[in-house]
Structure 1
Amino acid sequence: MPPGQLSLKGRALRLLSGREHSRAELERKLAAHEEEPGQLARILDDLQAKGFISEQRVVESVLHRRAAKLGAGRIRQELQAKGLDGELVAEAVQKLRGSELARAREVWLRRFGVLPQDAAQRGKQARFLAARGFDGDVVRRVLASRADEDET
């Protein structure tokens, strides 16, 4: 290996030092640097055995970083894209469902804070929330509840 070039394990550790990565993400990012077949799998097995790779920590990290801005649908997509176990993803999304309405209201408030005055504004606000992964029922409740709260 030329001087100054990181080993495969060094590359993996550098990636892990920046943020949590799933095994599938590491495989995808490091496959081009594998020098012999099976080398990457052995290194990742070793890192996983030592606790450097943890799917549960990846899930918790994504939830911590993204839940305040995104709905459960969008977070589910991100977790699935990381190649995480389907059961773990479903469990994480289920946890988010309880706070979905409150989180959607907070996102709406930060972005708009003013009730839509016409159908075009209502559509714009609804699309904004839907694009962030909040489902249709939650979007309708956020936009309807704003009117209810202002009247009381």
Structure 2
Amino acid sequence: MKPAPEPGELRERALRLLARREHSRCELARKLETAGFERAEIAVLLDEFETRNWLSDRRFAESWVADHRARAGSVKLAYDLRQRGVGDAIIEAVLSDNRDSEFERARAVWEKKFGSAPADAQEKARQMRFLQSRGFAAELIRRLVPDAGHD
């Protein structure tokens, strides 16, 4: 069993984690609990961090989407953000800013992986499954794959 962390370590550990990258409130709380800090103390500290704007789920979501949107569709991005404790209102707001470029992003992912139109139905299904696994919407995939060989 690990020894209990010192009381002053909580703030220091939280600031160190935030200095590396943005975190969602839920993600940061989980990491601090795992390190052995008390849930009540964590909540008070994170409330203070949010008040000072050092911690922001919105900023985390924007950062996450910016880092991952080239490889993933809105469905996957929304799922990943929910897994990290970001609320649906924030997810919808952040992803609505990126909806207009989703077709171009899907096309870029498709071209990098396949580069040519499917030769038969089996290949078409494989390409569609790949794009679906990357989190692109089924309607967008249907528009993209049959049109894949044309500019």
Distance 1:122 1:13, change over 3 A: same
Cα RMSD of the aligned pairs, angstroms, is 2.1
Q: Deviations over 1:9-58 (max 9, x none)?
A: 12211211221101111111111334455211122122222221012211
Q: Give the number of aligned pairs.
A: 147
Which residue number corresponds to residue 70 of structure 2?
Answer: 68
Uncovered stretches (5+) of structure 2, i.e. residues with no partner:
none
- Mean Cα deviation higher: 60-69 or 7-16: 7-16
Which residue number corresponds to residue 12 of structure 1?
Answer: 14
The one-letter amino acid of 2:58's match is: Q
Distance 1:93 1:36, change over 3 A: closer
Aligned-pair CA distance for 1:77: 0.5
Contact 1:8/1:34 (8 A) holds in 2: no
Structure 2 residue 89 is the aligned partner of structure 1 residue 87: yes
Which residue number corresponds to residue 116 of structure 1?
Answer: 118
TM-score with structure 2 setting the length:
0.87
Which residue number corresponds to residue 59 of structure 1?
Answer: 61
SS class of match (1:106): helix
Percent of pairs with identical residues:
35
Distance 1:39 1:141, change over 3 A: same
- Aligned partner (choices 21, 29, 32) of residue 31 of structure 2: 29
The one-letter amino acid of 2:142's match is: R
Q: Tell me which protein shows more helix as a share of its residues.
A: 1
TM-score with structure 1 setting the length:
0.86
The one-letter amino acid of 2:78's match is: R
The one-letter amino acid of 2:34's match is: A
